[in-house]
Structure 1
Amino acid sequence: MATMTHDAPVAVPPRAAAGITVALFSALSFALSGALASPMLDHGWSAGAVVLVRIGLGALVVLPFGVAALRGRWRLLRRNLPLVVLYGLLAVAGAQFCYFSAVQHLEVGPALLIEYTAPAAVVLWMWLRHGQRPGRLTLAGAAVAAVGLLLVLDVLAGFGLHAGGVAWALAAMIGAAAYFVISADDTTGLPPITLAAGGLVVGALALGALALVGLLPMRAVRTSVTYADVEVAWWVPLVALGLVTAAVAYVAGIAAARLLGSRLASFVALSEVVAGVLWAWVLLGELPGPLQAVGGLLVLAGVVGVKLGEKKSATEVQQIAL
């Protein structure tokens, strides 16, 4: 059966090691966005303005490389244009817009928790759509990672849920799940950097359209911001957001998904939450508590469990084939 994504467990250890390394690098890059944006939001920037600059700058940086990677094969882009548009609308613009809409009604912790149920959605999608039933070890790893995520997000203190906020967060989860599923599809022939460029361009245009009709408030303040007791110009974090947390993060994320498959890549991406806590500690002085540290270890243990489950599934498939 032909599958939409390259989600077969990786049999060659070097490929798996490279995929996990790239996935962790992508997660570290994505995770930096929260710590960079937080002081800007505190100084009066609107979330919409920060997100639009981040995605727009990322698109400008990646686009020339994405075009060069095509090597004149414009037919590939025309053939996959619907997929690129879907990626830009769901995985880029949709996930960003819905998440920031959710945090208007929910605390950051609950909103992140709901959005990061995306790996479970990916597992369910691969099971229902492609018959890739997860094994017990994979499910156990997912459960351990979920518990660790609860601790990292420090939601044990309790929080109230706003129905509208939950709906927006679930929509962000769909966007995140689409990111992993579409990124892992290596049957299109599109180079990863071309898919990233196309998605960022579509996402930037979509966010710009939302801003024009007033659905995405735009407010910018040109005052300096402080990170780790160091004052920097207002444009410095914007450049870092565009280059690192958008351009580099999306390209690395797509490459990792193609090396690992959407299911495993989505679980490795849970490390983004742990990295977000660490970045907040380094740049903002927000020291994680003991439970958050334990949660981080559980997330990593869960990812290892999922990976071992993938290897076991691959062995079983090979035995059946023989």
Structure 2
Amino acid sequence: MRNGAAAGLWWAVISAAAFGVSGPFAKSLLEIGWSPGAAVGVRIGGAALVLLIPVLIALRGRWTALRGSALTLIIYGVTAIALCQFFYFNAVQRMSVGVSLLLEYLAPVLIVGWLWARSRRAPRRLTAAGSVTAMLGLLLVLDLTSDERLDPIGVIYGLAAAVCLAVFFLMSAKADDGLPPLVMAGGGMVVGAVAIGVMGLVGIMPFTFEFRDVTLAGWQTSWLVPVLGLVLISTVVSYFTGILAARQLGSKVASFVGLTEVMFAVLASWLMLGELPGPIQLLGGLLIVGGVVMVRVDELRTPADGVPPLNRANDVEPVPLP
């Protein structure tokens, strides 16, 4: 492996691990009384402040491109950042971090269905098999035969996060944006922070804060620890390393490695919160991840007839996962 590709692989793994700890950090705040809106607002607002200066530097000489992409940036900031995190944190409030993230990662399967409906052209066999595998995994994650049922509202929030993540993937694959990845990420954070502030003021996303100690990995610590973790590790570090990975690996390989976020999230929630999905749910999680991997592998294949697969996206540098 070339040095650049090896470095890119490490950046991608670091990015996935940094994203993976966002759920445990957020849940520690939710458990002491923070509302999901407050956790999202602090995470996105804090990251927007940290990234503001780098974004302004990156925009030198590119203000025209920013004006031309304003609508894209607004949709991205509101849907892929603000609402995606809001739905995910609401799911985490009602269910385990691992189950919530597994539901969110059904996004690639939703994209297959959307593209199939839009183009009226059936996906290729490997993509179809991956979609079916992921849906079987979803049934196991929901564990419908268990006496201990998942919170149905939490499941709805998890699936809503999957829809927002699907929007993120579709927007990240657009090749005509003209905005650098850092501007798309930082600008989206600013838009998302404004959207969260407005929703908080009108009561759609209420803010409730509790400034007392939280429990992480069995230790009592200040509420500032998960707040700093959410802002600096799970947002700033994860986005920055994700951009580096995308530049050195390309979007397809970088997003493929990004699937390890599920593994890191389950591991982090076990170590930091003592949460671990049951055996049936873990098997379902493996099927979901396996199905998504099959879909992604199909994206990397080049058809003999030269026609791109149904779910293939342009190989552009994406903004890292939200």
What TM-score bracket applies, with the shorter chain setting the length?
0.7 to 0.9
Question: Within the alignment, does 1:199 sit opposite 2:188 as a pair?
Answer: yes
How many positions carry a matched residue from both structures? 304
State the one-letter code of the partner of 2:165.
Answer: A
Given the alignment, which residue of 51, 55, 58 partners 1:62? Answer: 51
Question: Aligned in 2, Cα 1:243/1:97: closer, same or farther, shift over 3 Å?
Answer: same
Normalized against structure 1, the TM-score is what?
Answer: 0.77
Q: How does 1:1-322 map to 2 (within 5 A)?
A: 24-100=13-89, 107=95, 114-129=103-118, 134-148=123-137, 151=140, 157=146, 159=149, 162=152, 168-251=157-240, 259-261=250-252, 265=255, 270-312=259-301, 314-318=302-306
Tell me how far apart the structure 1 counterparts of residues 270 and 79 of structure 2 sit (CA, whole Å). Answer: 30
Tell me how far apart the structure 2 counterparts of residues 17 and 146 of structure 1 sit (CA, whole Å). Answer: 33
Tell me how far apart the structure 2 counterparts of residues 26 and 193 of structure 1 sit (CA, whole Å). Answer: 14
Aligned 8 A contact 2:28 2:226 in 1: no
CA deviations over 1:62-115 (Å, ceiling 9, x no partner): 2222222233211111111110001001101122233445677x6457765554
Unaligned runs of 5+ in 2: 309-322
Query: What is the root-mean-square deviation of aligned Cα atoms in Å?
Result: 3.7
Identity %, equivalent residues: 45
Aligned 8 A contact 1:183 1:254 in 2: no
Tell me how far apart the structure 1 counterparts of residues 267 and 186 of structure 2 sit (CA, whole Å). Answer: 29
State the one-letter code of the partner of 1:78.
Answer: R
SS in 2 for 1:200: helix
Structure 1, 214-223 or 125-134: larger mean CA deviation:
125-134
Question: Aligned in 2, Cα 1:304/1:47: closer, same or farther, shift over 3 Å?
Answer: closer
Match of residue 3 from structure 1 = none
Tell me how far apart the structure 1 counterparts of residues 219 and 92 of structure 2 sit (CA, whole Å). Answer: 28
Aligned 8 A contact 2:108 2:166 in 1: yes
Structure 1, 139-148 or 176-185: larger mean CA deviation:
139-148
State the one-letter code of the partner of 2:304.
Answer: E
State the one-letter code of the partner of 1:70.
Answer: L
Tell me how far apart the structure 1 counterparts of residues 3 and 159 of structure 2 sit (CA, whole Å). Answer: 35
Give the C-alpha shift of residue 187 in structure 1: 2.5
Unaligned runs of 5+ in 1: 1-12
Give the C-alpha shift of residue 198 in structure 1: 0.8
Tell me how far apart the structure 1 counterparts of residues 307 and 78 of structure 2 sit (CA, whole Å). Answer: 41
Tell me how far apart the structure 1 counterparts of residues 19 and 111 of structure 2 sit (CA, whole Å). Answer: 19
Tell me how far apart the structure 2 counterparts of residues 155 and 271 of structure 1 sit (CA, whole Å). Answer: 26
Give the C-alpha shift of residue 39 in structure 1: 2.0
Normalized against structure 2, the TM-score is what?
Answer: 0.77
